[in-house]
Structure formats: structure tokens, C-alpha cells
């Protein structure tokens, strides 16, 4: 897989959790705020349909390539075209160089 800057034609948003702590010191996620908006190359990679009762959802897998960032965490959510994508693996370097990051994400689409 390769990528050039001119191929990054999609805008994505990165949502970061806002965490507060209760009296016992436990972290509580209150909401998510927009951390960054970056250009990306977004590629759908797979789709899976399940009819099992606990998971009546369709799953779409995505691969997203962005410019390298040091401050991206695996629990950050990705917003793309109104869809909320969850990262399923930590971001990794494309071709082992610090030029691009690859995000492997999943979108849960409700059935119906």
C-alpha cells in the first residue's frame, strides 16, 4: 500500500474523550470533543452482516491513511461523513517511515 499527499481528498475529524474523576479517583468519560480535523485517504476494506440477536448490526471496516501525528491514541473516535468509526487497532506507520499513519477502523451500522 502506498499514499501520496495528493490522494488525501477526504476530511475526517478526530474525537477525544473528556475525562473527569469522581471522589474515589475513578475516571469518568463525560463526552467527546473535536480534537483535530485532518485530510485523509479513506478506503472501505470489508463489510459483514450479522443476524445474531445480540448484535443485529452490520459492520463496515475502514482503512484510513493520515499524515503522521505523535498524539493520536487508540481510544480516539474518527468522524467521517457523519459516521462514527471506532479504531480496532493502534495506529501504525505506513512503510515504517514517519510520514503517514494507518488507522484500522470499524463502523457499526444498525440493521434496518
Dihedral sign of CA atoms 22, 26, 31, 33 in order: positive
Provide CB contacts within 8 A for 90, sequence distance 6+: 74
pLDDT of residue 44: 83
Record the pTM: 0.79
Three cell numbers written together for 78: 474518527
How far is Cα 69 from Cα 95, in angstroms, rounded to an integer?
Answer: 15
CATH classification of 5-110, choosing from 2.40.10.270, 3.40.50.1100, 3.40.630.30, 3.10.20.30?
Answer: 2.40.10.270
Closest CA to 12 of 69, 82, 92: 82
pLDDT of residue 33: 92
pLDDT of residue 108: 77
What residue ranges do the domains of the chain occupy?
A: 5-110
Query: Cα 60 vs. chain centroid, distance in angstroms?
Result: 12
pLDDT of residue 80: 94
**Mean pLDDT in consecutive groups of 10 residues from the start of the chain, 112 residues:** 77 92 89 92 79 66 91 91 91 85 85 58
pLDDT of residue 109: 74
Amino acid at each position: 500500500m502506498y499514499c501520496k499527499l495528493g490522494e488525501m481528498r477526504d476530511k475526517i475529524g478526530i474525537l477525544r474523550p473528556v475525562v473527569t474523576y469522581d471522589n474515589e479517583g475513578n475516571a469518568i468519560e463525560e463526552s467527546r470533543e473535536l480534537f483535530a480535523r485532518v485530510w485523509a485517504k479513506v478506503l472501505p476494506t470489508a463489510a459483514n452482516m450479522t443476524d445474531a440477536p445480540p448484535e443485529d448490526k452490520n459492520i463496515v471496516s475502514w482503512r484510513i491513511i493520515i499524515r503522521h501525528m505523535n498524539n493520536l491514541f487508540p481510544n480516539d473516535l474518527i468522524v467521517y461523513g457523519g459516521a462514527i468509526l471506532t479504531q480496532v487497532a493502534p495506529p501504525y506507520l505506513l512503510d515504517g517511515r514517519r510520514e503517514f499513519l494507518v488507522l484500522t477502523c470499524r463502523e457499526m451500522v444498525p440493521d434496518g
